[in-house]
Amino acid sequence: MNVVNLRVSAVSPLLTPLELKQLFPLPILLKEEIIKHRKVISDILHGRDSRFLAIVGPCSVHDVTSAEDYAERLSKLYNKVQDKIYVVMRVYFEKPRTTIGWKGLINDPFMNHSNEIEVGLKIARRLLIRVGEMGLPVATEFLDPIIPQYIDDLVSWAAIGARTTESQTHRELASGLSMPVGLKNGTDGRLQTAIDAMIACHASHSFVGIDEHGVTSVIKTTGNDDVHVVLRGGRTRPNYDRESIQSSIEMLKDENLLTSLVVDCSHANSCKLFARQKDVWEDVINQCLAGNKHIVGAMVESNIFEGNQSFPKVSPGEDVRTKLRYGVSITDACLGWEDTEKIILSAYEKFKTA
């Protein structure tokens, strides 16, 4: 009688990170651009570049066509404002769930519980190359600790989410990532969670992972000096207001940590009301114009069309993707493109005349 795998229904081999990268190699010119993007973001965080960091894009990617459409629009905006605002596109493939639900394009690319993860990885890597070749820096959230081996060479900024900032596994992961990493405060609003994470991420670690050949290995890291706090509010209140910002700065100073802050205009800071992101964005920009040098950027959940949509009911064998509205989020509600462009251009004009 077996004593292992009693609740495992199947184990399927997966292509290795190296095999995926050989299928969809990183172009030489794009590699050079990503190195530049990462340096600019690091310079913004450390005060060597005065531009404002704007991390904008869909809550999650579920449709490659609309994601590329969005990227083309954002690329044009990026070129208009890049002397004052450094725009990075959110291209999020993994979705943490409070209980259950769709886990993102990599885990379930066909949104039908088939969980074709290898297909999802191929779609994700191909899309990241396409977005990068449009000239855009890319941001994503890393959730599964194995996934970065497959796509991290294409990412310029990474997030560790509110649910995972407290996780030792994700702190160890962030300590070895090759790009700046934003650490969100906990869902309860406590900043101490992110502060503890920053301290851990600065340190070197040894942990079990895989190498590019898929071989189980001991990974040794040197620590990441580009980790920073992302304020996303908490269950009881937002934390983008002047008092909360000042309190966060003081707490970081007390620990001799980087005091650069990125404000998440969505989630608890907007009380999960997507249109209120505009108000949060404007408040943050005004704080910057009033002289606060510690706020270095903001995040906005944005899509081609505003709001979100539920999964439609479909018959067995029917493709759920044919029932979805184009360019509308299937996870958190987002600002539409017109409002997104408007708030960024408005901020750009303010920064130009400041």
Query: Nearest to residue 50, comparing CAs of 8, 85, 11?
Result: 85
Query: What domains appear along the chain, each with residue ranges and CATH number?
Result: 17-353 (3.20.20.70)
Express each pLDDT in 122-148 by its tens digit.
999 999 999 999 999 999 999 999 999
User: Who's near 29: CB < 8 A, 6+ residues apart?
Assistant: none
Express each pLDDT in 261-281 by its tens digit.
999 999 999 999 999 999 999
Tell me the HSE value of 79 on the side-chain side, using a 13 A CA sphere: 7
3-state secondary structure labels for all residues of the chain: CCCCCCCCCCCCCCCCHHHHHHHCCCCHHHHHHHHHHHHHHHHHHCCCCCCEEEEEECCCCCCHHHHHHHHHHHHHHHHHHCCCEEEEEECCCCCCCCCCCCCCCCCCCCCCCCCCHHHHHHHHHHHHHHHHHCCCCEEEECCCCCCHHHHHHHCCEEEECCCCCCCHHHHHHHHHCCCCEEEECCCCCCCHHHHHHHHHHHCCCEEEEECCCCCEEEEECCCCCCEEEEECCCCCCCCCCHHHHHHHHHHHHHCCCCCCEEEECCHHHHCCCHHHHHHHHHHHHHHHHCCCCCEEEEEEEECCCCEECCCCCCCCCCCHHHHCCCCCECCCCEECHHHHHHHHHHHHHHHHHC
DSSP strand pairing (85-90 vs 138-141): parallel
Q: Check: CB of residue 175 under 8 Å from CB of residue 223.
A: yes
Residue 258 has pLDDT above 70, yes or no: yes
* Cα–Cα distance for residue pair 62/328, rounded to 1 Å: 10
Tell me the C-alpha to C-alpha distance, in Å, between residue 293 and each of 2, 47, 347. 61, 8, 16
Express each pLDDT in 89-130 by its tens digit.
999 999 887 777 889 999 999 998 889 999 999 999 999 999
Express each pLDDT in 173-195 by its tens digit.
999 999 999 999 999 999 999 99
| pLDDT-derived band at 313, boundaries 50, 70, 90 | confident
